[in-house]
Structure 1
Amino acid sequence: MTLNRLSEYAGWRINENDDCIDYAQKGLALAQKIGFKEGMARSYNNLGNGQSQKLERESALESYFAALKIFKETGNKQWVGRVYANIAITYSDMSNYPQAIKYFETAIKPVTEAGDQFGLAGIYSGIGQINKLQGNFTESLKNDSIAINLYKNMGNKKEVVRVYQNIGEVYIYQGNTTKALENYKNSLETAKELNDKHYIANALTLIGDVYGYLGNYPEALNEFYKSLKISEEINDKKSIGFSRLKIGQVYLTQGNFSAALKNLNIYLNIGKELKSKEVILFAHRMIADAYKQQNDFPNALKNYSAALKVAEEIGNQSGIAYSNMGIGTVYYAQSDFTSSLKYYFDALKIFETIGDKGGIASCDNGIGAVYIELNQAEEAKKWLQEGLLLHKETGAKDGMRDAYKYLSKADSALGNFKKAYENHKMFTVYKDSLINEENTRKLTETTMQYEFDKKEAETKAMREKEKEKMKLRYGIAISAIFVIALTGFLLLYFTRMKKKKEKQIFFANRQIMELEKEKVEAELRQARKDVEQFLTKINEKNQLINRIVTELQQLQEFHDDKKTELARTLTELRNTSILTDEDWSHFLSGFDKLYPEFILKIREMQPKITASELRFLMLVKIGLSTKRMADTLGVSPNSVRVTWRRVKDKLNASEDDTPQSLLNKIEKVTIEVY
C-alpha cells in the first residue's frame, strides 16, 4: 500500500502527475505479483487519476474501469462508489454530460451504503456542477445545497469554498447578483481561513465578475488583477485563463479592443492547452464580441459560429443561447433584420427554458431594436419595456442604457417626442455613469499597477536581495516621478473641467432616483428641467474639451518650427471673412492643413452637399457661432439657419441635433450592438 499512497500523494497533493503514474504502475506490478486484488484496484484508480490530470482521458477511463471491475469482485462498496464518481468526473471533463450524470447517480447507492459522507457530498456537488453547465439552475442549487451541508457537517472547509463558488455562479445566471456576491464573499473568507491561494484567486475573480455586471468596472478590474497575480504565483493555468477572460471583458466594455483581444486570446490558448471545450466556447464568444464592436463582421460571425458549434457538441444550453444571440446582433448591424429576429428568438426560447434573466432581457432589447427598424414601433415598445423591467430587476446598467436608447427611438417614431426626449435623457445618464473620465483613469491605474508589480516580481527573482531592494526603490521613485509629472501635466489642464463634470454626473445620478420615485407631476417637471440644463452644460463642455484636445494633439505632432505656423493658421481661420472666391480659397487652404480629411468624409456621406452647406459645416468645425458665421459669409443669420435646416435633411440629423452634435456623430461613428 505504500506505493499507492505515494502515488496518491504525488497526484493529488503536489500535482506531480508523472510520479503519480510511475508509483501506480510499480504498485500495480507488485500487487499482481503477490495476487493482492485490493492493491491492484487502488493502483488502477491512481493510474487513472494521473492520466486524467495529464488530460489523457481515454486512458484514464480504461484504468478506472479496470479498478471498478476488481472492487466489485472484492465487494468494496466505498471504492466502487468513488471509482464511479471518478469516471463521471472524467466524462464531465470531456463535456459528455449525459454519461457524467449517469455515473454520478450510479455512485450514490454504494457510497451511501458504505457511509462515505465525503464521497456522497462530492457526488452531489458534481451533479450540481453539470446541472449548471446544462442550464438546469434549479436542480443545480438543489444538489449544491445538499453537498455544502454535508461538507459543513464534516468540517471540510476546502470543499465548502468550492461549493459556495458554484452556488454563486448559478445565482449569476439567474440574475440574482445579491445572492451571488454573498456566496462569493463567503467563499473568499473561508479560503482565507485555509490560506488556499487557488480558491482565493477564484473567489476574487468571481467577486470582480459581479462588480462588472453591475457596471462598477474599476472595482471589477482591481479584483481581476489581484486574482491574476495570485494565479501566476502558483502557476494555476486554469485560474490564469479565467482572470484573463474577465480582464478582457472589462476592456471590451470600455472599447479598448486591442487590450481586450490580447487577454481573450490568452484565455483561448489556455483553453486549447487544457483541452477544455467550455473555455474554448466562451473564448470564441468573447472574441466575436470584440470583432463585432470593431465592425469586423466576418470575424465576428466566424467566432460566434465556432462557439455555437462547440456549445452544440457538448450540450451547453447557455452557450447555445448566447452564441445565437451574438449572431443575431451581427445580422442586426448588417441590416439583415429577418435573420437577426430568427437568432434572437432561438436564443430567447432557450433563455426562458433555463431561467437566465439577463439573457432574456438582452434578447428583449435586441428584438425591440429590430422591430424599430421594421417600422413596428408599437411592437418594439412592448419588448423594450419588458427588457427594461428585467434589467432593473437584475441591476444591469448597460442593459438599462440600451433599453432607454431604443425606447427613445420607438417613441420618436410614434410621434411621442416628449416621452422620447425623457428616455433619451435616461439613456445619456446611464451611458455617462458607465463610461466617464474617472472610471477610465481608475482602469488605467489598475492596469499600470498590475504591470508594474509583475515586472517588479520578475526583477526580484533575478537579483540578490540587497541589490534588488535598491533597484526596486529606484524603480518606484522613477515611476512615481514619471506618473506624477505626467499626471500633473494632464490634470493641470483638465482638473477644472473634470470636477465640474463629476459634479454634474453625481447630480444626474440623483436625478435618476427622483425620476423613478417622485410621482407628483410638479416635481417631475422640475427634475426634467434640471436634467435638461445639466445635459446642455455637459455637451457644451465636452465639445470644448474635444476641440482643444484635438488641436493640441495636432500641434504636438509637428516640430517646434511648425507649431507657430499652425497656431497662426487657426487664428486666421477664426477671424477671416469668406466673401469672395479668393477669400474662400485662402480659407480652404488653411482649413485643409488643420482638418485634412474633413471635407472628404462629408462628401463621402453626402455627395450632393452644396458648397454653401459645406462652408457652413466647416465654420461649425472651427467653432463659430451663427452670428459669426453670418458676418464671415456676408449673409444674414436667418440664411445661416436655413442652410442648417438643409444640412439636417441631407445628413439625416434628428430634431434634437445641434450643428456641433451632428459633427460629433460624423467624426466618431461606432456601431453599438446590444
Structure 2
Amino acid sequence: MKNSIYLFLFLCIFTDLQAQNPEIDRLNKKIESHVRNPDSTKFYLFQLLKFSSELHDTIIGKSYSTIGIQYNKLAVPDSAEFYMEKALDYTEDYPLQHAKMYLNLAINYRIGSQYQESLQASENAIEQFKKAGNQEGVGRAYGEMASNYNYMKNSEKALEYLKKAIAILKKSGSERELSIVRQKLANLYYNNSNFTFARDIYEEILPVFAKEKGTNYYVTLLSYADCLLQLEENYKEAEEALKEAENAFKEMNQKEYMWIAVSNLAQVYVAMGKSQQAQEAFQRAYDGMYQISSPRSLETSVRYLDFLNSKKQYSKAQKVIERVKASTNSTRMKMNADNEIDFLKQAVFTYGQNGMVEKSLQAFERLDFLKDSLNTALNHAKSLELQEAYQNDLQRERNLVLKKNNELLIENNNKKDNILLLGFLSFILLLAIGLVLYRTNRNKLKLQQELVASLENSKKVLEEKNTLEGELRLERERVLENKEKELVQVSMEMSNLQNQIIELIENRDNLESSTVLAEKLKNLLGQNNYWKYFKGKFIEVHPVFALQLAEMFPNLSENDVAFCCMLKLQLSEKEIAALMGISTDQVEVKKTTLRRKIGMGDDILGFEKLIDHLE
C-alpha cells in the first residue's frame, strides 16, 4: 500500500518560508489552502519558484520535491522522479533536508515498482539522517525499506526492517510516524493473507489518521475494507468505507486511488449479490484506469474479466482482452509476470467459450511458459539472497577486525613513552595483514582455478546428458510409433474376429441345430469389451491426450473423448465403425456433432489440426 505523508510534508515545508515580500506570502497561503488539490498546488509552487533568487536553497529543494509529490498523486511517476531528483541538487549541503528529499524519492520509486532504486534511495536517506543526528528519520527510512521488501514478497526482510523502525519510533514518541510504520506491518499481514491481524491493526491506527483525514487515512480505508471483504464479516461497513474513500479521492483529484476504490467496491457488490451494481462499478473503474494510463489498470481488467466470464458475457470479455493486449505495447502499461498469468487464465477461458481454439492454445502455451519462467526466477532470487547473506556475514567479520585494530591503535597512541614499540607493532600488524592478503589471494586464485575446472567438467557432463536425452527421445518416439501400430493392428484383428463370428452365426445353415451354439458364441462375445481394451492401451501410448482435451473443453462426454482418441490414431471411418460397433454414416454424423460441441462448426481442417496438435 502506498505510504503518503503529503499533508504533513506541506506543513513542514511552508511553515518555515520567510515572507520576503507580499507576493511570496500570498503564494504560501494559496499553497496551504489548496493542499488537497494537486493541480492547483503544483501551479502555485511553480509561481513561487519564480522568486528563487529570494528563497533559500532548502526552500527551493522542498518546493521541487513537493511538485514531484503532486505529479505522483496525478499518477505521472516520470515527472515526479524528475522534480524529486532536481530537489537533491539544492539540499546537498543540508543533511536533514537532503535526507527528506531522498526519502520522498524512495517513495516515488516504490510506487513505480522500481524497488532496487527505492532501496538505494532509502539507504542514502538513512546515511543523511544519521549525519544530521535525526533518529526519527532513520526509523521512517527503515519503514520505507520494509514496504519495498513487502512488495517484493520478501516477508522476512520486511519484518526485520519493521522491527527496527518500530523500536526507533517508539523512543521518538511520534504517534503519527509510529502509526505509519504499524500500517506497514498491517500491510505485511494483509499481503500474507492474515486478514484478521491486519484488520485489528487497521482499526487501531485509523483513529490516528482520522485526525487529519489525509491520503494515509483513505488509503488505509481501502485495505481495511478489503479485509472485511476477505473475512466475509461486514459487507455493509466495507461498502461505506469504500464510498467514503472514493468521494475523498475524487475531491483531492487523486484519480488512481479513486478508481481503485471503485474497483474494490465492485467486488463488495459481487459478494453482496448485487450483480448490476457490480458490473457498473467494474466498468467505471476499468474505463477510468485506462483514461489515466495507470499501471494498475491491468489488475482492474483481470477482475473485470473474471466477472464477465462468470456472467457468460464472453463477447464483452473478448473486447476487454483485445484492449488489454493493445495497451501493453506501452512501456508504462507493461504487464509483470503475475499480472500476465492472471490475465492469460481468463483469456484461455474466454477464447475457449468463443470457439477461438487456436488463440486459446496460444494463450495456454504462454501461460505454461510464464509459470516455468517464474519458478526459475524465484530459484535465482533465493540464490542471490543466500549470496547476499554470505557477503553480509563476511563484511561483518571484517568490520569487527577493523574495530579491534582501531582500538589497539588508539590505546597505543595514548602511551607516549612507547612510541618506538607502537611503530614496531604497527609494522608487525601491517606485515600480518599483508601475509593474510597474500594467502587470501592465493587461496582465491586456487578456488577460481578449481571453479573453472569444475565448470568445464559440468559442461562436459551436460553435453553428454543432452546427447543421451536426444537418443532416449528418438527411442521413445520409435517405441510410441510401434505401440500405435500394434494397438491399431491388435484392435482391428479382434474387431474382425468378432465380426467374422457374428457373420458365421447369422449365415449358419442349420438354424435349429446351431441355435444353442450361436447363443453361447454371442454370450462369449458380449463378455469381451474390445472397446475398453482399446481405450486402456491408448492411454499407455498417449497418456495426456484425453486430459488436455477434457481441460480445454469440459462439456465433452467420455464417449466424445473416446471418439477423439480414435481420430488421433488417424483410423478410417470403416475402422472406427468396426471398433465402436456403428455404421460409417454414424461415424460422420458423430464427427459433425463433436465439432459443433467444441465451437468449430464446419471448420474441418481446424478440428483436424487441434486433434493432431494435442499430445
- TM-score w.r.t. structure 2 length? 0.51
Which residue of structure 2 lines up, in the alignment, with residue 329 of structure 1?
Answer: 267
- Give the direction of change, closer, same or farther, for the CA distance of 1:300–1:405 in structure 2 (3 Å limit): farther
3-state SS, counterpart of residue 293 of structure 1: helix
Aligned position for 1:176: 114
Residue of 206, 211, 227 corresponding to 2:165:
227
> For the Cα contact (< 8 Å) 1:148–1:163, is it kept in 2?
yes
Measured in 2, the distance between the counterparts of 1:96 and 1:392 equals: 24
What SS class does the counterpart of residue 113 from structure 2 fall into?
Answer: coil
Cα pair distance change 1:136/1:118, threshold 3 Å? same
Deviation at 1:121, TM superposition (A): 2.1
Cα distance change on mapping 1:182 and 1:365 into 2, 3 Å = farther
**1:33-432 to 2 correspondences below 5 Å:** 78=20, 83=25, 86-87=28-29, 90-91=32-33, 95-97=36-38, 100-101=41-42, 103-109=44-50, 111-114=51-54, 116-152=56-92, 155-273=93-211, 275-296=212-233, 297-334=235-272, 336=274, 338-357=276-295, 359-373=296-310, 374-376=313-315, 378-379=318-319, 381-382=321-322, 398-400=338-340, 402-410=342-350, 413=353
For the 8 Å contact 1:92–1:130, the answer to whether it is kept is no
Q: What is the aligned-residue RMSD (CA, Å)?
A: 4.6
Query: 1:78 is paired with a residue of what secondary structure?
Result: coil
CA contact (8 A) 2:314 2:354 kept: no
Q: What's the CA shift string for 1:252-277, capped at 9, x where partnerless?
A: 2222122001111223111013x132
Distance (whole Å) between structure 2 residues aligned to residue 217 and residue 384 of structure 1? 31
Task: Note the C-alpha offset of 1:370.
Answer: 2.8
> In 2, Cα distance between the equivalents of 1:427 and 1:398?
9
Q: CA deviation at 1:282?
A: 0.9
Pairwise CA distance, 1:239: 1.8
* CA displacement, residues 569-628 of structure 1 (integer Å, 9 cap, x when unaligned): xxxxxxxxxxxxxxxxxxxxxxxxxxxxxxxxxxxxxxxxxxxxxxxxxxxxxxxxxxxx
Work out the percentage of aligned pairs sharing the same amino acid: 14
Question: How far does the alpha carbon of each residue in 1:432-484 deviate from its partner, in whole angstroms, 9 at most, with x for none?
Answer: 9999xxx9xxxxxxxxxxxxxxxxxxxxxxxxxxxxxxxxxxxxxxxxxxxxx
Q: In the superposition, relative to structure 1, how do residues 654 and 254 fare at CA in structure 2: closer, same or farther (>3 Å)?
A: farther
1:288 is displaced (CA, Å) by 0.9
Q: Residue 607 of structure 1 corresponds to which residue in structure 2?
A: none
Count of residues in Structure 1 that have an aligned counterpart in Structure 2 = 378
Task: Please list every run of 5 or more consecutive structure 2 residues that lacks an aligned counterpart in the other structure.
Answer: 1-6, 383-468, 474-534, 536-550, 556-615
Q: Give, in angstroms, the shift of residue 233 of structure 1.
A: 1.8
Q: Name the amino acid aligned to 2:144.
A: L
Call closer, same or farther: CA 1:356–1:411 in 2, change over 3 Å.
same
Paired with 2:103 and 2:56, the residues of 1 have a C-alpha distance of 23
Cα-to-partner distance string for 1:524-544 (whole Å, 9 max, x where unaligned): xx9xxxxxxxxxxxxxxxxxx
Which residue identity does 1:78 align to in structure 2?
Answer: Q
C-alpha separation in 2, matches of 1:411 and 1:89 = 52
Give the drift of 1:323: 0.8
Residue 137 (structure 1) shift? 3.4
Tell me the alpha carbon deviations over residues 514-559 of structure 1, each in whole angstroms, 9 at most, x when there is no partner: xxxxxxxx99xx9xxxxxxxxxxxxxxxxxxxxxxxxxxxxxxxxx
Distance 2:291 2:81 in 1: 16
**SS of alignment partner, residue 232 of structure 2:** coil
5+ residue gaps in structure 1? 1-51, 69-75, 440-521, 527-637, 639-651, 657-674
Asked if structure 2 preserves the Cα contact closer than 8 Å seen for 1:85 and 1:123, the reply is: no
Deviation at 1:176, TM superposition (A): 3.2
Find the aligned partners of 1:355 and 1:170 in 2 and give their Cα distance.
Answer: 17
1:540-579 to 2 correspondence within 5 Å? none
Residue 231 of structure 1 and its aligned partner are, at CA, apart by 1.6
DSSP 3-state at the match of 2:20: helix
One-letter amino acid of the structure 2 residue matched with residue 347 of structure 1: A
Call closer, same or farther: CA 1:185–1:333 in 2, change over 3 Å: farther
Q: How many Å separate the matches in 1 of 2:245 and 2:184?
A: 17
Check 1:251–1:392 CA distance in 2 against 1; reply closer, same or farther (3 A cut). Answer: farther
Q: Secondary structure at the match of 1:215?
A: coil
**Following TM superposition, by how much is the alpha carbon of 1:294 offset from its aligned partner in structure 2, in angstroms?**
2.0
Q: Compared with structure 1, are the counterparts of its residues 142 and 384 closer, same or farther at alpha carbon in structure 2 (3 Å cutoff)?
A: closer
Q: CA 1:385 to 1:188, structure 2 compared with 1: closer, same or farther past 3 Å?
A: farther
- Call closer, same or farther: CA 1:349–1:166 in 2, change over 3 Å: farther
Describe the superposition over 1:275-304 as per-residue Cα deviations: whole angstroms up to 9, x where unpaired. Answer: 132122112111111112123432322211
In the alignment, which residue of structure 2 is the partner of 1:614? none
Q: What amino acid maps onto 1:279 in structure 2? A: N
SS of structure 1 residue aligned to 2:153: coil
Counterpart residue identity of residue 150, structure 1: Y
Q: Contact between 2:115 and 2:148, CA under 8 Å: does it hold in 1? A: yes
The one-letter amino acid of 1:315's match is N
Q: Alpha carbons of 1:212 and 1:388: their partners in 2 closer, same or farther (altered >3 Å)?
A: farther
Superposed CA offset, 1:184-225 (max 9, x none): 333233333434222222222222222222222332233223
Counterpart Cα distance in 2 of 1:160 and 1:207: 18
Distance 2:343 2:239 in 1: 24
Q: Rg: which structure is higher?
A: 2
Residues 160 and 421 (structure 1 numbering): CA distance in 2 closer, same or farther, change over 3 Å?
same
